[in-house]
Amino acid sequence: MVTETLASFVAETGYDQLPQDAVTAAKRAMLDFFGVALAGVEQPGSKLITGYVREEGGRREAGVIAGGFKTSASLSALANGTIGHALDYDDCFVGFSIHPSVAILPPVLALGEKARASGKKVIEAYALGFEITCKVGAVVGLRLRELGWHNTSTLGSLGAAAAASKMLGLKANEIRMALGISASLAGGLRQNFGTMTKPLHAGNAARNGVVAASLAAKGFVADDSILETPLGFCNVLGTGRTWDLTAVARQLGNPYSVASPGIVFKLYPSCHGTHRGIDAMLLLRRETNVRPEDVAEIECRTSTTVPTSLFHHRPKNGTEARFSMEYCVSRALVDGQMGLSQFEQEKVLGSDVRDIIEKVRYAHPDGMGEGVEHPQEVVIKLRDGRTVSRKVHVIKGDPGNPISWEELCSKYRDCAGKVMPPRKVERLLELVSTLEAVDDIGKCMRLVTGEQCRNSKSE
List of domains in the chain: 2-264 (1.10.4100.10), 272-392 (3.30.1330.120)
Question: What is the DSSP-derived secondary structure letter of residue 402?
Answer: P
- Cβ–Cβ under 8 Å, residues 272 and 381: no
The 10 Å Cβ neighbour count of residue 351 is: 6
> pLDDT grade, residue 453 (50/70/90)?
confident
Q: What is the pLDDT of residue 1?
A: 86
Least confident segment among 202-216, 242-256, 276-290, 298-312 = 242-256
- Cβ–Cβ under 8 Å, residues 312 and 323: yes
457, pLDDT greater than 50 = no
What is the helix (H) or strand (E) element at residue 362, kind and residue range?
strand 360-363
Q: pLDDT of 48-69, one tens digit each?
A: 999 999 999 999 999 999 999 9
Q: What is the pLDDT of residue 366?
A: 83
454, pLDDT greater than 90 = no
Distances (CA, A) of 306 to 99, 100, 231, 321: 16, 20, 31, 15
Q: Using CA atoms, how far apart are residues 452 and 446, in angstroms rounded to an integer?
A: 9
**Taking residues 235-261, what's their average pLDDT?**
91
Rama region for 397: left / alpha / beta (φ>0; ψ in -120 to 50; rest): left
Quote the distance between the C-alpha of residue 208 and its chain's center. 16
Q: What is the pLDDT of residue 314?
A: 97
Q: What is the pLDDT of residue 458?
A: 39
Q: Give the chain's mean pLDDT.
A: 95
Q: What is the pLDDT of residue 105?
A: 98
**Taking residues 177-198, what's their average pLDDT?**
98
Torsion sign, CA atoms 147, 148, 151, 154: negative
230, pLDDT greater than 50 = yes
244, pLDDT greater than 90 = no
Q: Name the 3-class secondary structure at 22.
A: helix
**Taking residues 313-317, what's their average pLDDT?**
97
**Taking residues 285-299, what's their average pLDDT?**
96
Q: What is the pLDDT of residue 456?
A: 56
Find the length of the chain: 459
136, pLDDT greater than 70 = yes
Dihedrals phi, psi of 318, to nearest 5 degrees: -65, -35
373, pLDDT greater than 80 = no
Q: Using CA atoms, how far apart are residues 257 and 238, in angstroms rounded to an integer?
A: 22
* Among candidate residues 91, 86, 115, the one with its CA nearest the CA of residue 105: 91
182, pLDDT greater than 60 = yes
> By percentage, how much of the chain surpasses pLDDT 70?
97
> pLDDT grade, residue 452 (50/70/90)?
low
Question: Under 8 Å CB-to-CB from 62, ≥6 apart: which residues?
Answer: 70, 71, 72, 73, 76, 77, 109, 110, 111, 113, 114, 445, 449
Q: State the DSSP string of 406-435.
A: HHHHHHHHHHHTTTS-HHHHHHHHHHHHTG
Q: pLDDT of 150-173, one tens digit each?
A: 999 999 999 999 999 999 999 999
- Cβ–Cβ under 8 Å, residues 80 and 106: yes
Q: pLDDT of 64-106, one tens digit each?
A: 999 999 999 999 999 999 999 999 999 999 888 999 999 999 9
